[in-house]
Amino acid sequence: MQIINAEDTNFEVAFEELVSRPRSNNEDVGLTVASIIKEVRRDKDSALLRFTNIFDHVELSPDELLLSEEEILQACSQLSSKQKGALNLAAKRIEAFHTNQLPKDKYWSDQTGIELGWRWRPINRVGLYVPGGSASYPSSVLMNAIPASIAGVKEIIMVTPSSEGKLNPLVVYAAKKAGVDSIYKIGGAQAVAALAYGTETVSSVDKIVGPGNAYVAEAKRQVFGCVGIDMIAGPSEVVVIADPCNNPAWLSADLLSQAEHDVNAQSILITTSQDFAERVLESLNSQMKYLLRKDIAKQSWTTNGAVIVVKDLTQACLISDRIAPEHLQLCVKEPEKILKNISNAGSVFLGSWTPEALGDYVIGTNHVLPTEKSARFASGLSVLDFMKRIFISKVGPSSMQEIGEAASILADEEGLTAHKLSVDLRIAESKR
């Protein structure tokens, strides 16, 4: 584990090596995914069932792909009141936060009398991919499906791989709580292909959202254009900016909470104190051995983690913006003061009492966020990702006389004579 000092002469080399190190799965999956998509497009249900058997080791018939109401009730009945209560609280807070994102239609007349505006409309059908297998994430169901429901999406279809034909009960409960209409027991690139192109059993959608492994991410990339996608999500990451007035145990837990996600996850501490940095590292090494996923956390931390010591918080913000992290914790006395210096981050958590782990579940903000520096140009998932804006305009005869000639000239310059004629005919009529 390395401590990098921003004042060292070799800092730039060390920093670039840290943030440029490839963390996404480098496995060449493109050809495999393309072949899967091609077969699902061609053979539909038969290919879907074949790949489900091969990759998920479960044999299903077409009428077993869709989770029945009886299976839903049975799954939900296995949950305790505490489990349901925790998920209900999370759902309530996520719904409240995202309801405030609903945009408004607008319509006005400008000085020429032209009427202009826009109207927002929901996407008709959305497909939600939810990982299964070794890890299931009911929180991801809420984060994706609730904004879609608030946006007014007419139909939400969820796909998730099963384990011996069974799904995680809390994932099923989350789906029903969040407004999912249909749940299919399928996963992998074949599920993405089914959502994009449709089969005899699975209807095609207009947009696909949700995280997945390298094959799912590549499948989303390949079907983009036929359908919309949310983003190509990379490994999770966090930057913690901290002054020495913090509990080292708290911050070491924060760093490990990202490291335990994935061996490719990245956790970085930026602090103004060398002594504090060393105390955090000591606490982190002590905590790591007690984690259920300690092997994953250890590999992530030793391969991708770092502590950067800076001269002041201004320098800390500049370095953080270069990283453009998915999650940014500002564990300083007055976080609002340095927040104004932050431009690139997916989600910011202010103060030592606001760990990112809360944001994964119950704060209400969305945990589907841009990774691998894409916070420079992208935002976290929101209600707007499930809506589209339609522009509106209306021109009358007098307005045509004011702006038509300019359009005619520009069309002529571009050699588009039909464009010019379309406008000139109306100009002539408006002067009669």
* Beta-sheet strand order (sheet of 125-129): 182-184, 155-159, 125-129, 207-209, 228-229
Reported residue count of the chain is 432
Do 137 and 201 lie in one domain? The reply is yes
* Among candidate residues 229, 252, 285, the one where a domain is terminated: 229
Do 302 and 336 lie in one domain? The reply is yes
Do 171 and 264 lie in one domain? The reply is no
| 237, 326, 356, 372: the active-site residue | 326
CATH number at residue 290: 3.40.50.1980
pTM, two decimals, is 0.94
326 assigned to active site: yes
Do 62 and 77 lie in one domain? The reply is yes
Write down the pLDDT at residue 249: 98
Write down the pLDDT at residue 115: 98
Alpha helices in 271-355 (DSSP H): 274-288, 294-304, 313-323, 335-339
200 assigned to active site: no
| 64, 218, 261, 327: the active-site residue | 327
Give 10-residue mean pLDDT values along the chain (432 residues): 88 92 76 97 97 93 95 96 98 98 98 97 98 81 98 98 89 97 96 98 97 93 97 93 97 97 96 97 96 96 96 98 98 97 98 98 97 96 98 97 97 98 97 88
* Among candidate residues 187, 210, 229, the one where a domain is terminated: 229
CA 309 vs. chain centroid, Å, equals: 30
User: How many domains does one find in the chain?
Assistant: 3
Does a structural domain hold residue 263? yes
Spatial contact of 342 and 304, defined as CB atoms under 8 Å apart:
no
CA 231 vs. chain centroid, Å, equals: 6
Residue 57, phi-psi category: left (phi > 0), alpha (psi -120 to 50), beta (remainder): left
Q: Quickly count helices (H) and strands (E) in the chain.
A: 17, 14
Per the structure, the complete domain to which residue 248 belongs is given by 3-24+234-363
